[in-house]
Amino acid sequence: MTALRERFSASWERRLEAQDRRERVRARQLHRWRTRRHRRRFAALVLAGNLLTIAAALVAHRQIPWVFAALWIGGLVVWMAGFTLLRVLSGRMSTAFSELLDEREREWRHRANYAGYQAFCALVLVGFSYLMVIADTADAAYRGAMMLAALMVVGLSVPTWVLAWSLPDDDLEDFIEPGTGEESDV
């Protein structure tokens, strides 16, 4: 049993080190965009993608499948672009293991996750209400599943959205390469 624990512990340490390396590389990317103004623009982009997927779920039952497909795929592409950029711009708070974060970063992330949990609960209630309204219609299960999928995407993006909206601007001095006194080009 001890050998198994040692292997698990070594594997965990390797994962922490790999994640820390990835986060250090990501922390140097897009440093001039790490302002509240830029993050809020991308938060609006995420919201637009969310609204497109909800619109797609609302028209899922129509007999025009290309409208649904265009809205759904377009919404997911817009959402994914904004969401990915927000995760980079909000720093490692949204992706790193708790062990790699300092107390301030952990506190910000816990606040955002709690807001996300509350929003997710509210969205589940919205989804159930929608299901109750459409229960007696044709394709109610399909329409409900599409709406729940769209609301799940919204709920999953709330913590990153909250972090992006509320974080203060990063200090540009943090992006100066050690020993050179110059900003990194990444």
To which residue do tokens 């965009």 refer? 33
In a domain, 182, yes or no: no
For 92, the token pair is: 């490692």
- Number of structural domains (the chain) is 1
Q: Are 58 and 39 in contact (CB under 8 A)?
A: no
Please, what's the b/e burial string for 132-146 (b: 16 or more CB within 10 A of its CB; e: otherwise)? Answer: eebeeeeebeebbeb
What pTM was computed for the model? 0.77
Determine the structural domain holding residue 112 and report its residue range: 2-169
Whether 104 maps to a domain, the answer reads yes
For 79-112, the pLDDT digits (tens) are 999 998 888 887 767 666 777 778 888 888 889 8
Q: How far apart are alpha carbons 24 and 167 in whole angstroms?
A: 19
Judged against a pLDDT cut of 80, whether residue 181 lies above it is answered with no
Question: Would you say residue 121 lies in a domain?
Answer: yes
Q: Are 154 and 54 in contact (CB under 8 A)?
A: yes
Residues forming beta bridges with residue 183, ordered by sequence position? 176
Convert the pLDDT of each residue in 124-135 to its tens digit: 999 999 999 999
Q: 176 in a domain, yes or no?
A: no
Residue 105 forms part of a structural domain: yes
φ, ψ at 183 (rounded to 5°): -70, 145
Residue 103 lies in a domain: yes
- pLDDT per position as a tens digit, 2-57: 888 888 888 888 888 887 787 777 766 777 777 888 889 999 999 999 999 999 99
Residue 40 lies in a domain: yes
Q: State how far the Cα of 164 lies from the Cα of 145, in Å rounded to an integer.
A: 29
